[in-house]
Chain A
Amino acid sequence: MNANEFDVIIIGGGITGAGTQRDCAMRGLRTLLIERSDIATGATGRNHGLLHSGARYAVNDAESARECIEENMILRRIASHCIDETNGLFITLPEDDLAYQQTFVESCLKSGINAEIIDPDLARRLEPSVNPELIGAVKVPDGSVDPFRLCAANMLDAKLHGGQVRLHTEVTGFIKEGDTIKGVHTHNHQNGEDVDYYAPVTVNACGIWGQHIAQMAGVHVGMFPAKGALLIFAHRVNNLVINRCRKPSNADILVPGDTVCIIGTTSTRIPFEECDNVAVTPDEVTLLITEGAKLAPSLSQTRILRAYAGVRPLVSADDDPSGRNISRGIVCLDHEVRDGLKGFVTITGGKLMTYRLMAEMATDVVCRKLGVEKACETAQVPLPGSEEPSYEEVAKKIWESPTMAQKAAAARMGTRAARIRTGDRRDEALICECEEVSVGEINAAIDRLEVSTLTDLRRRTRVGMGTCQGEFCACRAAGLLAKAHGCVARERADLEDFLQERWKGNFPIGWGDTLREAEYTQWVYKHVLGL
């Protein structure tokens, strides 16, 4: 059999694509994942990282709420190293209608979400950063999830089940015979090669870009691009997710994720052509800080690390211009049934939270087409790294007395931290001091997780995600990448791109300490290192 032939080709390296590849691979299919950039570069990596309990959707969208809470419980089991079981609060402020709380709790309970009204005093004790003026609070099983880690773990598991991955490879066209999609033409942006891949089924899992891919295949999927802007603060202000108990609106969720916390979002309809190039505006920054400070007042004096925006992959369903009331529901299209196009499936809509369910639905369609009858196991089998319930357990089993960096590695890699080489002091040296990432951890990522650029490395290890935003770690990590890839010139260009990309996120909030730090970074790289 030709090395370029597979059972299924999945286009899109977001969480839906990676999840679908994992599911297909676990059901015994020969899979290929194609992604034009890196994993989690679209909406997957551009959201809050909120492990929704579903409470946010309970009042308006019971179906989404139910899906969320079910998947929430599944992810706690199968993705323990990617999630943080923080719990969350829905707070009512004096300007909000306290009557809404009752509707909210009833809706939650109906959807199976354990929502519990608690005394405002207790809320203040549980979460000292919360706006002390709150007049009501509901506790829900929200949490946080690291989308990069989750995506990488799905991709890794697909690989462990024989799957192949082509990152930085763009689909340029379809190989079509009559009414059947037989494969794809691709172009690799890094080595410039054009390669054709063949499979009886191709899955379009490209999120918002699915519209474009579908168009290329000759069918229409109308997406509804809605931009959402978010801010990352430099440390955890809160340890519980804080939401506003009111009709979903702007900047009303504050999520603690790893060493930072994130406020968002806004919602603005944008033309499809702008999806590749979204920027955060000064108005959005002002709105996020102002509204954010209503959840946790200290945000107004907390250092901001970055601003970023993502595009929600909503499927247009009505004419609501804000995009808020569109269902977050999953859309799985078998184009053979819908459009008479064989061998092509689109999986879209949905949310980060429901990626596994989306993957299951898409894989079911793929398997039906291929006549494969194996049942889905993704809800039971833990992802690689998640075999232990907590990082304390992981660290305890690997190291006698773990250092701070080893503890941090256990929190990021889960049981895979055992793969970090130790014993040599060079392996234990830190590359990223803000996030405590060692040489050994970087090398483990380079070995297994398809890393070609510093930005890829950042998504998999948190290198450059800390307070210094790459000031010290970027050049060190670049050294390791240059060694791994055997090319200094390419790495030098990559380093420039990486720093440029870091600055892009600093720019909209470029004042105070963030500006000082960015300026210092510029001195280091431009004037000391001559970049």
Chain B
Amino acid sequence: MKLQEYTKSRHNFEECMKCTVCTAYCPVLQANPLYPGPKQAGPDGERLRLKDPYFFNQALKYCLNCKRCEVACPSGVHVADLIQSARIKYDHTPPKLRDTLLANTDFMGKMARPFAPIVNGVTGLGITKTILDATLKIDRHRTFPKYSAPGFEYWLGRHKKEQAAFPEQVAYFHGCYVNYNYPQLGKDLVKVLNALGVGVQLLEKEKCCGIALITNGMSAQARKHAEHNVAQLRQAVLDKGLKVLTTSSTCTLTMRDEYPNLLGVDNADVRESLLMATRFIFEKLEKGATLKFKADYHKKIAYHVPCHLEKLGWGIFSVKLLSMIPGVEFILLDSNCCGISGTYGFKKENYEVSQAIGAPLFAQIKSVNPDVVACDCETCKWQIEMSTGYTVMNPISILAEAIE
């Protein structure tokens, strides 16, 4: 049955059958009674907001934007998009200084990276955390991601020539995390792709995908990022005929879906060419390419599918790749949200909710007791490492470690 045959509505809100499955799946609702839940905040509230923006409810800010409601919805309602769109359209509260700092991940990265050792030292100090907690309301339990002095872009720039020598080429959207905090993940990707005969190049100039700007109420700025990045993608995809790979599930979801759905930036001509590296690698292996794995590799890996990867429907590629590594004992963790949702969990007012949401996941990890947790999302990684003490690795890094 073609659901849209008779009805068209913004983010499909009229398709809602009120079945309330989204509410049952919402991780926030169970932990925070102030949140009205996805059904009320989304399709139900939309009808009232259409009557008068006065009915907009500030409590919509408690939405994690994890998109689990959309995965659960049997009617194709873009519940989280409705909620985020309403925030964009109706919430005109100016963002706090803290939110501006947290949201501008690439600006902060640029400023901090040259002084990485000092910044890392200072942000790691108990006194700094206490001050941040008291002044900016960034929760004291949180550990800031460490900055890395030479960025990934710099590193790949130095290997430009050898990468260009590979017969097949892809572009890599590395995102803020790989460039400023953890270039090793980018290097791991280059290693795996090179092993498959694929060379890696950068986009001419990428900007932060902008998800933190969207969720922190800076949509105008986010739209500028989106327009810039889509132009960059067009250059790579349309002019050079490249696929653009990513290693972060949230950047991918943002650029594929949030750009057109929340920011109104059309990406239809490049959307299908932007994929998670895991999908690209899996499809290559399916077509007969091979990777040479180490003979003595042994690891017990518990894999957590990040919410945004679940929304993309691409968790399966990481699952397949990790479980094909000889010597890996693979455990797929139950579908749960870790509770961090990017900058959300860093805010003092959300800390307890954030930890309550993640509790079932943390408990399962502890009972499984793996050698390492695998996950395609950097903020899930921080949350799980902080909350369980287990190391979290991107599936790409595990692949890189497992091949010769």
Q: Which of B1-55 contact A (CB under 8 A)?
A: 3, 5-9, 13-20, 36, 39-40, 43-48, 50-51, 54-55
Interface string of B233-256 (1 = CB under 8 A from A): 000000000000000000000000
Which of A211-219, A274-282, A402-410, A439-447 lies at the binding interface?
Answer: A402-410
Q: Does B57 contact A (CB under 8 A)?
A: yes
Q: Which residues of B are in contact with A by a Cβ distance under 8 Å?
A: 3, 5-9, 13-20, 36, 39-40, 43-48, 50-51, 54-55, 57-59, 75
**Closest CB of chain A to B8's CB: distance in Å?**
4
- Contact assessment for B17 and A235 in the assembled complex, using a CB-CB cutoff below 8 Å: no
User: Which residue from chain A places its CB closest to the CB of B60 in the assembled complex?
Assistant: A404
Contact A303:B14 (CB < 8 A) given known A404-B36, A436-B44, A511-B6: yes
Contact A235:B46 (CB < 8 A) given known A404-B40, A407-B55, A513-B6: yes
Q: Is the interface of A mostly helix, strand, loop or mixed?
A: loop
Known: A235-B46, A466-B44, A466-B47. 18 other contacts (CB 8 A): A302-B7, A302-B8, A303-B7, A303-B14, A403-B36, A403-B59, A404-B40, A404-B45, A433-B44, A468-B17, A468-B18, A513-B6, A513-B7, A513-B14, A513-B17, A516-B75, A517-B17, A520-B18
Q: Which of A94-111 contact B (CB under 8 A)?
A: none
- Contact assessment for B18 and A434 in the assembled complex, using a CB-CB cutoff below 8 Å: yes
- Contact assessment for B19 and A467 in the assembled complex, using a CB-CB cutoff below 8 Å: no
**Closest CB of chain B to A248's CB: distance in Å?**
27
Task: Report chain A residues within 8 Å CB of B18.
Answer: 433-434, 467-468, 471-472, 517, 520
User: Which residue from chain A places its CB closest to the CB of B43 in the assembled complex?
Assistant: A467
Bound CA–CA A328/B364 (angstroms): 72
Interface string of A285-321 (1 = CB under 8 A from B): 0000000000000100111000000000000000000
Interface centre among B9, B44, B57 (most CB of A within 10 A): B44
Q: Does A456 contact B (CB under 8 A)?
A: no
Bound CA–CA A499/B128 (angstroms): 62
Contact A520:B19 (CB < 8 A) given known A301-B7, A512-B5: yes
- Say which size band chain A's interface belongs to: 20 to 34
Task: Report chain A residues within 8 Å CB of B39.
Answer: 433
Contact A467:B9 (CB < 8 A) given known A258-B51, A408-B55: no
Task: Report chain A residues within 8 Å CB of B43.
Answer: 467
**Closest CB of chain A to B390's CB: distance in Å?**
38
Task: Report chain B residues within 8 Å CB of A249.
Answer: none
User: Which residue from chain A places its CB closest to the CB of B41 in the assembled complex?
Assistant: A404
Bound CA–CA A520/B9 (angstroms): 20
- Contact assessment for B50 and A259 in the assembled complex, using a CB-CB cutoff below 8 Å: yes
Q: Which of A442-477 contact B (CB under 8 A)?
A: 466-468, 471-472
Which of A235, A430, A467 has a CB less than 8 Å from the CB of B50? A235
Task: Report chain B residues within 8 Å CB of A223.
Answer: none
Task: Report chain B residues within 8 Å CB of A434.
Answer: 18, 44, 47
Contact A513:B15 (CB < 8 A) given known A302-B9, A407-B55: yes
**Closest CB of chain B to A303's CB: distance in Å?**
4
- Contact assessment for B54 and A392 in the assembled complex, using a CB-CB cutoff below 8 Å: yes
Interface string of A490-531 (1 = CB under 8 A from B): 000000000000000000000111001100100000000000
**Closest CB of chain B to A216's CB: distance in Å?**
43
- Contact assessment for B55 and A301 in the assembled complex, using a CB-CB cutoff below 8 Å: no
User: Which residue from chain B places its CB closest to the CB of A410 in the assembled complex?
Assistant: B54
User: Which residue from chain A places its CB closest to the CB of B1 in the assembled complex?
Assistant: A516
User: Which residue from chain B places its CB closest to the CB of A235 in the assembled complex?
Assistant: B47
**Contact sample, A vs B, 16 pairs, CB 8 Å cutoff:** A256-B51, A298-B8, A301-B6, A301-B8, A391-B54, A403-B57, A404-B40, A434-B44, A434-B47, A468-B18, A472-B20, A512-B7, A513-B15, A513-B17, A517-B17, A520-B18
**Closest CB of chain A to B45's CB: distance in Å?**
6
Task: Report chain B residues within 8 Å CB of A324.
Answer: none
Task: Report chain B residues within 8 Å CB of A407.
Answer: 48, 54-55
- Contact assessment for A236 and B51 in the assembled complex, using a CB-CB cutoff below 8 Å: yes
- Contact assessment for A404 and B19 in the assembled complex, using a CB-CB cutoff below 8 Å: no
**Closest CB of chain B to A239's CB: distance in Å?**
8
Bound CA–CA A403/B55 (angstroms): 9
Q: Does A234 contact B (CB under 8 A)?
A: yes
Task: Report chain B residues within 8 Å CB of A513.
Answer: 3, 6-7, 14-15, 17
Interface string of A218-236 (1 = CB under 8 A from B): 0000000000000000111
Task: Report chain A residues within 8 Å CB of B5.
Answer: 512
User: Which residue from chain A places its CB closest to the CB of B46 in the assembled complex?
Assistant: A235
Bound CA–CA A300/B221 (angstroms): 36
Bound CA–CA A516/B18 (angstroms): 11
Task: Report chain B residues within 8 Å CB of A404.
Answer: 36, 40, 45, 48, 55, 57
Bound CA–CA A301/B16 (angstroms): 15
Sort A-B residue pairs by CB-CB distance and give the 10 closest, nearest first: A512-B6, A301-B8, A468-B18, A303-B14, A259-B47, A404-B57, A303-B7, A236-B50, A235-B47, A513-B7
Bound CA–CA A449/B17 (angstroms): 31
Bound CA–CA A221/B7 (angstroms): 46
Bound CA–CA A433/B40 (angstroms): 7
User: Which residue from chain A places its CB closest to the CB of B15 in the assembled complex?
Assistant: A513
Interface centre among B17, B40, B48 (most CB of A within 10 A): B48
**Closest CB of chain A to B26's CB: distance in Å?**
14
Bound CA–CA A408/B378 (angstroms): 41
Interface centre among B5, B6, B15, B40 (most CB of A within 10 A): B6
Contact A259:B48 (CB < 8 A) given known A235-B14, A516-B17: yes
Bound CA–CA A235/B20 (angstroms): 19
- Contact assessment for B14 and A302 in the assembled complex, using a CB-CB cutoff below 8 Å: yes
Task: Report chain A residues within 8 Å CB of B19.
Answer: 520
Task: Report chain A residues within 8 Å CB of B36.
Answer: 403-404
Task: Report chain A residues within 8 Å CB of B7.
Answer: 301-303, 512-513
Bound CA–CA A516/B9 (angstroms): 16
Bound CA–CA A403/B58 (angstroms): 9
User: Which residue from chain A places its CB closest to the CB of B13 in the assembled complex?
Assistant: A235
- Contact assessment for B9 and A235 in the assembled complex, using a CB-CB cutoff below 8 Å: yes
**Closest CB of chain A to B350's CB: distance in Å?**
19
**Closest CB of chain A to B46's CB: distance in Å?**
7
- Contact assessment for A303 and B9 in the assembled complex, using a CB-CB cutoff below 8 Å: yes
Task: Report chain A residues within 8 Å CB of B57.
Answer: 403-404
**Closest CB of chain B to A61's CB: distance in Å?**
32
Bound CA–CA A408/B19 (angstroms): 22
Q: Which of A371-402 contact B (CB under 8 A)?
A: 391-392, 401
User: Which residue from chain A places its CB closest to the CB of B58 in the assembled complex?
Assistant: A401
- Contact assessment for B17 and A408 in the assembled complex, using a CB-CB cutoff below 8 Å: no
Task: Report chain A residues within 8 Å CB of B9.
Answer: 235, 302-303
**Closest CB of chain B to A290's CB: distance in Å?**
15
Q: Which of A400-437 contact B (CB under 8 A)?
A: 401, 403-404, 407-408, 430, 433-434, 436
User: Which residue from chain A places its CB closest to the CB of B16 in the assembled complex?
Assistant: A467
**Closest CB of chain A to B87's CB: distance in Å?**
14
**Closest CB of chain B to A468's CB: distance in Å?**
4
Bound CA–CA A436/B46 (angstroms): 12
Contact A520:B6 (CB < 8 A) given known A392-B54, A404-B55: no
Interface centre among B14, B36, B40, B43 (most CB of A within 10 A): B14
Interface centre among B39, B46, B55, B57 (most CB of A within 10 A): B55
User: Which residue from chain B places its CB closest to the CB of A473 in the assembled complex?
Assistant: B18
Bound CA–CA A403/B36 (angstroms): 9
Bound CA–CA A434/B13 (angstroms): 12
**Closest CB of chain B to A401's CB: distance in Å?**
8
**Closest CB of chain A to B48's CB: distance in Å?**
6
Contact A234:B14 (CB < 8 A) given known A259-B50, A392-B54: yes
Task: Report chain A residues within 8 Å CB of B40.
Answer: 404, 430, 433, 436
**Closest CB of chain B to A435's CB: distance in Å?**
8
User: Which residue from chain A places its CB closest to the CB of B8 in the assembled complex?
Assistant: A301
**Closest CB of chain A to B61's CB: distance in Å?**
13
User: Which residue from chain B places its CB closest to the CB of A519 in the assembled complex?
Assistant: B17
Task: Report chain A residues within 8 Å CB of B75.
Answer: 516
Task: Report chain A residues within 8 Å CB of B59.
Answer: 403
User: Which residue from chain A places its CB closest to the CB of B14 in the assembled complex?
Assistant: A303
Task: Report chain A residues within 8 Å CB of B6.
Answer: 301, 303, 511-513
**Closest CB of chain A to B14's CB: distance in Å?**
4
